[in-house]
Amino acid sequence: MAAIPPLTIGDREFVWGSRTFLMGIVNVTPDSFSGDGVGLDVDAAIALGLRFEAEGADIIDVGGESTRPDAEPVAAEEELQRVLPVIQWLAKKTTVPVSVDTSKAEVAAAALEAGAAMVNDVWGLRRDPEMAAVVSRFGVPAVVMHNQRGRPHCEVLADIRAGLETSIALAEAAGVPRERLIVDPGFGFGWSFGHNLEILRRLPELRSLGRPLLIGTSRKSTIGAVLGLPADERLFGTAASVAIAIANGADVVRVHDVKEMLQVARLADAVVRGWSPPEEEE
């Protein structure tokens, strides 16, 4: 595969293939599946973002609406009240780019005005018809995810590839260059546990899209199903899934536990991308 050109997110250049990048999750919601404990506490969310930066996160992803299957929808006004104070503060006080995790164009636009540097849309620009135009107007990168919820299933990777190609086409039609997109196969979004494991196993097949791959397995129910553990005890299962994702071509991993997953990523990178040990003292 040809090398993917670097992408600038905020003030940082991401050189794909040089290493794996970490996206730290900050959920400003009362009903997150993961047990991360932030809830609607803005100060706690800001503190978490700062901690992630100190622990080595490359991107901080702020979301104000739970994406678990049975979550109650959140109105745009309420979502903005949750995320804007966090984004405004983190964008000023951190050196890493802040991403807004939303599928609403109104929320994305306000977040970008507040200092966010990227949009992470779990509906791949397909739920809100104005989202692609917002991304284009602000000239920022976007993560487009394939979401299988409510869609007929044919074949896992074929469905994902078709969905991502649709998202890419929507972006390009709105004036967003393909080169500004990161793709996410949507682990945990409308798939069975077996399908999710298949996504992880067959991740290399998505390299043919020619875009950086982001994957979020952190603490998800498939890990719980395999190990028989609740969300707050899935650290080691998450570590295994992150290592496998990196070995299979992931460029960005979206995680709740930045400090621990940084170690996983660095060791996986040493194996997958190569590592030269420091010179030993004589």
Catalytic residues: 220, 254
Say what angle helices 131-138 and 105-113 make with each other, to 10 degrees: 20
Residue with tokens 């018809």: 129
Sequence-distant (≥ 6) Cβ neighbours of residue 168 within 8 angstroms: 144, 178, 181, 183, 209, 211
CA distances from 163 to 108, 127, 145, 159, 269 (A): 21, 12, 8, 6, 29
Instruction: Provide the β-strand partners of residue 183.
Output: 144, 213
Sequence-distant (≥ 6) Cβ neighbours of residue 130 within 8 angstroms: 105, 106
